Amino acid sequence: MTGRRAPRSLAALGVAVGLAFALPFGSLVVRTAADPAAFTRRLGSEELVGPLLRTVTLAGLSSLGAAVLGVAVAWCLVRTDVPARRVLGVAAALPLVLPSFVAAFAWISVFAEGGLLQELLGFGRSWRLRGLGPAVVILTLISYPYVYLPVAARLAGLPRSVEESARALGAGPVRVFATVVLPGIRSAVAAGTLLVFLYGVSEFGAVSLLRYDTLTLRIFATRLLEPEAARVMSLVLGVLALVVVAAERRVAARARRSEPVAAGGPPAVARLRFGRAPVVAFLVGVVAVALVVPVAVLARWAARGLAGGRDLLGRGAGLGELAGPTAQTVGLAVVSAAAAVAVVLPVAYLTRRFRARTGEVANLFVVAGFALPGLVLALSLVTLTLRAPLLDALYQTVPLLVFAYVVHFGAQALRAGEVAVEAVPERLREAARSLGAGRLRRFATVEVPLMAPMLAAGAGLVLLSVAKELPATLLLAPIGVDTLAVRIWSAAAEGFFARAGLAGLVLVAVSGLLTWWVTIRRVEHLRG
Amino acid sequence: MPATRLRTQRRFLRAPAAVLTIVVIAAALTGCGSGGGERITVYSGRNAELIGPLLERFARRTGISVDVRYGESADLALLLGEERDRSPADVFISQSPGAMGYVDGRRLLRRLPDRILDRVPARFRARDGDWVGLSGRVRVLVYNRDRLTVSQLPVSVLDLTDPRWRGRVGIAPTNASFQDFVTALRTLIGEDRTRRWLEGLRANDVRTYANNVAIVEAVGRGEVDLGLVNHYYNERAKAENPGVRSENHLFPAGDPGTLILVTAAGVLRTASNPAAAERLVAFLLSRGAQEFFAAETFEYPLAAGVDPAVEDLPPLADIAAPDVAFDALGDELARTRRLIRRAGLEG
């Protein structure tokens, strides 16, 4: 498996992809390098160090939380016979599509003094959600699908034969999980956890409402007044991401590689008897807190608008007015998800099959693209497109917007893609080769079908992220492009809650259908 | 490998291609559909909900098509700064003078003709004539009427450091409108007193929020009793939920707590059709548009002699506006921000 050199065309493709992903970060470096004195001055300032530590704390703790929660949810949904599995499977992925400022606003208003909880119960205590603790909890709840989706896809693909043998040899369920299942899903867990960390690093909406003073908050506070400071802080975020990604690669390289899938039949499913009630309660609880609470708040806003007697839903006819934004959201999300998977696959091949150094470098930049705040990334793409000959024709067009989405969220597809490449067993490829199948034919008929569930999990993550993306959409979309996320922001920012609620509900519903179509049904298909 | 799975796979690839085709066709159609005729491009930091109907009205009246890019004022200002001479924008509408000052400071605006400038009092437009105020939001004290009566409210915004209000006041220190207010405060009562006031708030356990909407919500449900916000948000909250417990209160005229913050418009140097761009700015200062600001966004109209629609607003002439050199606004705002941060309020 190792030692073979990557085909030259693949290596070239990988380098090209890596360069494209490095563009925003590269332009930050170039602009900062123009004034090195300012850079060093900022670097030591207390305005940077404290927020940086808080950023790392928040991202670290929430990625731990999301790893545990994501694996638990995935295992319960794929490996047990809980009822309503499909509905729960889709619902468990959906917290990812909630714009973080909506989710945070909802949770704050539920738990606050005089909030929804007290209103419903008629009594009780209240919590003022702010600072590290609530930020970790809320980020965990929004971002655990980064772990859940890839791990579920991986769990569904692991052969039952090994687990059955282990069981036949007398190992209990905990031991089977720890010694057989966990090594199999380890790379998927690591991939998802890293994504949560990077998400936490660049998150703005929730931390700003929760007043947790991270670097992104400082970037937004200074972006207009002290642009140079904002640039240095963005660069520090990018470097932090590179360091973390590189460190993760070293650890991952030392760890044993995960077991490839084999045609060993559908995965083992534990028949729950006495354990059924707690498992169901756990899943319902997670979905209730992570999804139902924010959705209930959205529904309450929308209901107030529909019932209010005044035309709170504004000029258009409410739902009908959302048809256009819905179609555009779906179009952009599906196209970007497919593009992201296609673009990062060469890099995944380079790193996992050929262990090529070019692949590792490309991988660094692909993954780091996720840690830059969307606003920073969008602004640097503006500069680059307008200053580069020929490229300026692309300015404010759909292709550039899709490119921005791919650069921003490609990491989500790459991590899943790497796990997918690893999951193709060598002997199947050898068998196809010995039967005389050419490289492309082997790829299309043997590898892609085997990788499909993992690739789909990656695509699902990108899709949900694009559906809620705001800053790049606002700055880079052609005028007239109008997505549901833009509608939610536009309404909520000025207190048009009824309109924001309605658009939010449509976003959640449409994303649910898409997640089913792209990801969950594939996992279900494997599970048999 | 079962054949069904391969077929699924192919379908998986085909669907995005179909969607892409539809998107491309739709984009092409919208791009070509409206060809011909005059058109201008507006970058608007003022929300679509608040200015969209006016821009549509302008397009209907004049036959000039208006393309609008909406966003946060600060982000659009940064975008203009990156685009520089390549910007497709003709007009920039900013929700705050700060973002407009950033754009003006980079020499991206062209001077407006006097016939437009003269419609607005001198203190609500740029000294260099590069931008003009459209409407004014008023800073107010929002309070919870279950907790407090009007007679119990503080007489001046400067009294909020009184121990009586300990832990009962909400502010949005990173929000542009609070920063504009503090900038005005510096010019009105001086740097030192402003700093002491901010430190006093901090010592008084003031509660910080992300924005005006969050403060009005918090006051409405009784999480805090008082909040410093713009006038508009409580009117909006009442429209959404008539039972809400929050009320606006204006400090007496002359108090620095009662202050006007302008929404501003300017024409860009890159404007490909400056005449049409100026027509839009003039339209926004016309009687009809000014009445729209009064009635729909509860603001002070700044031109055409239109009165505010909200009751109890004191006359425009009695209210303070930040009197800072607009060319230096960027620096002023940076100093304001540092003052707020040093008082320990930013986090």
Distance CA A102, CA B235 (A): 21
3-state secondary structure of A270: strand
Would the CB atoms of B22 and A314 count as touching at under 8 Å? no
Domain count, chain A: 1
Q: Which two tokens stand for residue A399?
A: 């292709």
A125 CB within 8 Å of a chain B CB: no
More confident residue, B107 or A305: B107
Q: Which residues does chain A have within 8 Å of residue B20's beta carbon, measured at their own beta carbons? A: 331, 335, 338
* Confidence grade of residue B259 (pLDDT, cut at 50, 70, 90): confident
Chain A: give the shortest CA distance to residue B311, in Å.
Answer: 21
* Distance, CA of A42 to CA of B58 (rounded, Å): 47
A residues 181-240 closer than 8 Å to B (CB) = 208-209, 211-213, 217, 220-227
Q: Which residue has the tokens 């590290």?
A: A132
The average pLDDT across A320-337 equals: 92
In total, the C-beta contacts within 8 angstroms joining chain A to chain B are 171
Name the residue in chain A with its Cα closest to that of B210: A209
Q: A268-271 — which CB contacts under 8 Å span 24+ positions?
A: A268/A79, A268/A160, A268/A163, A268/A164, A268/A167, A269/A79, A269/A80, A269/A81, A269/A527, A270/A79, A270/A80, A270/A81, A270/A173, A271/A80, A271/A81
Chain A CA closest to residue B217: A109
Rounded Cα distance, A178 and B341, in Å: 49
A49-89 pLDDT, tens digit per residue, is: 899 999 999 999 999 999 999 999 999 998 888 888 889 99
Residue contact B41–A475, C-beta within 8 A: no
What are the structure tokens assigned to B191, written together?
């740097």
A315 touches chain B (CB under 8 A): yes
State mean pLDDT over A99-107. Answer: 89
Search chain B and give the residue with CA nearest A102. Answer: B214
Is A108 inside any structural domain?
Answer: yes
A381: chain B residues, CB-CB within 8 Å: none
Angle CA(A467)–CA(B233)–CA(B316) in degrees, nearest 5?
135
Which among B8, B53, B75 has the least Cβ separation from residue A471? B75
Q: What is the 3-state secondary structure (H, E, C) of chain B?
A: CCHHHHHHHHHHHHHHHHHHHHHHHHHHHHHHHCCCCCEEEEEECCCHHHHHHHHHHHHHHHCCEEEEEECCHHHHHHHHHHHHHHCCCCEEEECCHHHHHHHHHCCCEECCCHHHHCCCCHHHECCCCCEEEEEEEEEEEEEECCCCCHHHCCCCHHHHHCHHHCCCEEECCCCHHHHHHHHHHHHHHCHHHHHHHHHHHHHCCCEECCCHHHHHHHHHHCCCCEEEEECHHHHHHHHHCCCCCEEEECCCCCCCCCEEEEEEEEEECCCCCHHHHHHHHHHHCCHHHHHHHHHHCCCEECCCCCCCCCCCCCCHHHCECCCCCHHHHHHHHHHHHHHHHHCCCCC
Cα A415-A416-A418 angle, rounded to 5 deg: 65
Asked whether residue A3 is assigned to any structural domain, the reply reads no
Between residues A286 and A312, the one the model is more confident about: A286
Instruction: Give the torsion sign (CA, A483, A488, A493, A497).
Output: positive
Distance CA A487, CA A470 (A): 10
Q: Give me the phi and psi of B329, to 5 degrees please.
A: -60, -40
* Spatial contact of A418 and A152, defined as CB atoms under 8 Å apart: no
Q: Report the residue from A225, A331, A397 with minimal CB separation from B337.
A: A225
> Which of B12, B100, B245, B333 to mutate to probe the A interface, most A CBs <10 Å?
B12
Pairwise CB contact (< 8 Å): A474 & B24 = no
A525 and B5 within 8 Å at the Cβ level: the answer is yes
Question: Own/partner pairs for A440-443, CB < 8 Å, 24+ apart?
Answer: none
- Residue A502: what residue type? L
Q: pLDDT tens digit string along B42-87?
A: 999 999 888 999 999 999 999 999 999 999 999 999 999 999 999 9
The reported pTM is: 0.89
Tracing tokens 């449509």 back to the chain, one arrives at A506
- Percent over 90 (pLDDT), chain A: 38
- The domains found in chain B, sorted by start residue, are 39-136+260-313 (3.40.190.10), 137-259+337-342 (3.40.190.10)
Contact with chain A for residue B253, Cβ under 8 A: no
Residue among B144, B139, B138 at smallest CA distance from B216: B144
Residues 35-54 of B with CB under 8 A from A: 41, 47-50, 53
CB contact under 8 A, A332 and B71: no
Mean pLDDT for chain A overall:
86
Q: CA triplet A477, A489, A484: central angle to 5 degrees?
A: 60
From the centroid of its chain, how far is CA B144?
Answer: 24
How is residue A528 written in tokens? Answer: 């048999």
The pair of structure tokens assigned to A133 is 């603790």
Query: Would you state the pLDDT for residue A413?
Result: 94
Q: Identify the band that residue B14 occupies on the pLDDT scale cut at 50, 70 and 90.
A: low
How many angstroms from the chain centroid is the CA of residue A187? 16
Chain A contacts of B208, Cβ < 8 Å?
Answer: 211
pLDDT for the residue numbered B326: 47
Q: Do B15 and A312 touch (CB under 8 A)?
A: no
Give the closest-approach CA distance of A458 to chain B in angstroms.
14
Residues of A in contact with B174 (CB under 8 A): 208, 217, 220-221
Which member of B49, B88, B337 has the closest CB to residue A221?
A: B337
* B67–A449 C-beta distance less than 8 A: no
User: Of B72, B66, B68, B75, whose CA–CA distance to B45 is shortest?
Assistant: B72
Instruction: Give the number of other Cβ atoms within 10 Å of residue B340's Cβ.
Output: 23
Q: What percent of chain A has pLDDT over 70?
A: 92
Report the alpha-carbon distance of residue B79 to residue B69 in Å, rounded.
11
**How far are the Cα atoms of B94, B130, B146, B277, B278 from residue B113, in angstroms, in the given order?**
19, 9, 51, 12, 8
Residues of A in contact with B75 (CB under 8 A): 223, 375, 471, 474-475
- Residue A447's closest chain B neighbor by CA? B1
pLDDT band for position B258 (50/70/90)? confident
Q: From CA B84, how far away is CA B91, in angstroms rounded?
A: 13
Q: Dig out the tokens for B136 from the structure.
A: 């004014």
Nearest C-alpha neighbor of B347 from the set B114, B172, B198 = B172
What is the spatial distance between Cα A461 and Cα A479, in angstroms, rounded to a whole number? 26
Q: What is the pLDDT of residues B179-211, one digit of tens each?
A: 889 988 888 899 999 999 999 999 999 999 989
Strand partners, B230: B139
Q: Is the pLDDT of residue A316 over 60?
A: no
Partner B contacted by A308 (CB < 8 A) = yes
Question: Which residue is listed with tokens 């975020």?
Answer: A237
ipTM computed for the complex? 0.88
Note the helical H segments in A255-373: 276-287, 293-307, 323-352, 357-368
Whether the pLDDT of residue A222 is over 60: the answer is yes
- What residues contact residue A123 under an 8 Å CB cut-off, 6+ apart? none
Asked if A390 has any chain B CB less than 8 Å from its own CB, the reply is: no
B residues 312-331 near A, CB within 8 Å? Answer: 330
d(CA A382, CA B211): 28
Burial class (CB in 10 A: 0-12, 13-18, 19+), A251: exposed
Whether residue B304 is predicted with pLDDT greater than 50 in this model: the reply is yes
What does chain B come to in residues? 347
Secondary structure in 3-state letters for A98-145:
CCHHHHHHHHHHHHCCCCHHHHHHCCCCCCCCCCHHHHHHHHHHHHCH
Quick one: what percent of chain B has pLDDT higher than 70?
Answer: 86
CA distances from A365 to A8, A41, A133, A150, A469 (A): 21, 26, 31, 21, 20
Segment among B55-69, B264-278, B322-336 with least mean pLDDT: B322-336
**DSSP structural state of residue A310:** S
Closest residue on chain B to A301 (Cα)? B240
Say if B208 is an interface residue toward chain A (CB within 8 Å). Answer: yes
Contact A211 B209 (CB under 8 A): yes
Which structural domain range is residue A23 located in? 8-527
Residue numbers in B near A222 (CB within 8 A)? 337
Residue-level pLDDT at A486:
92
Q: Answer whether B71 sits within 8 Å of A452, measured CB to CB.
A: no
Mean pLDDT, chain B, whole residue set: 86
Looking at the DSSP assignment, which residues form a beta bridge with residue B261?
A: B137
B70 with A398: Cβ contact below 8 A: no
Express each pLDDT in A11-22 by its tens digit.
999 999 999 999
How far is Cα A448 from Cα A522, in angstroms, rounded to an integer? Answer: 13
Indicate the SS3 state at residue A453: helix
B145/B244 Cα distance (integer angstroms):
9
Running DSSP on this structure, what letter comes out for residue A289?
Answer: I
Give residue for tokens 């994504």. A195
B68 touches chain A (CB under 8 A): yes
Q: By the CB < 8 Å criterion, does B33 face chain A?
A: no
Nearest to B223 among A114, A312, A497 (CB): A114
Residue of B42, B73, B78, B94 to mutate, testing the A interface (most A Cβ within 10 Å of its Cβ): B78
Q: Who's near A183: CB < 8 A, 6+ residues apart?
A: A256, A258, A259
Q: Cβ of B69 under 8 Å from any chain A Cβ?
A: yes
CA-to-CA distance for A18 and A28, rounded, in angstroms?
16
Q: Which 3 state secondary structure label does DSSP give A172?
A: coil
Task: Answer yes or no: is A36 within a domain.
Answer: yes
Query: Any CB–CB contact under 8 A between B222 and chain A?
Result: yes
Contact A490 B47 (CB under 8 A): yes
**CB proximity B67 to A under 8 Å:** yes
What is the rounded CA–CA span in Å between residue B139 and residue A2? 68
User: What is the phi/psi pair of residue B139, to 5°?
Assistant: -80, 135
**What is the structure's pLDDT at B4?**
44
Nearest to B299 by CA among B283, B310, B284: B310
B151 and A CB contact within 8 Å: no
Which domain CATH number covers A327? 1.10.3720.10
Question: Closest to B208 (Cβ–Cβ): which among A211, A338, A525?
Answer: A211
Q: What is the pLDDT at residue A528? A: 58
User: Which among A114, A304, A398 has the least Cβ separation from residue B23?
Assistant: A398
Host H or E run for residue A214:
none
Task: Find chain A residues with C-beta within 8 A of B210's C-beta.
Answer: 208-209, 211
Scan residues 433-452 of A and list those with Cβ closer than 8 Å to B.
445-446, 448-450, 452
Identify which of A238, A240, A219 has the alpha carbon closest to the alpha carbon of residue A228. Answer: A219
- Nearest 5 degrees, angle CA B122-CA B123-CA B125? 70
Chain A within 8 Å of B18 (Cβ-Cβ)?
Answer: no
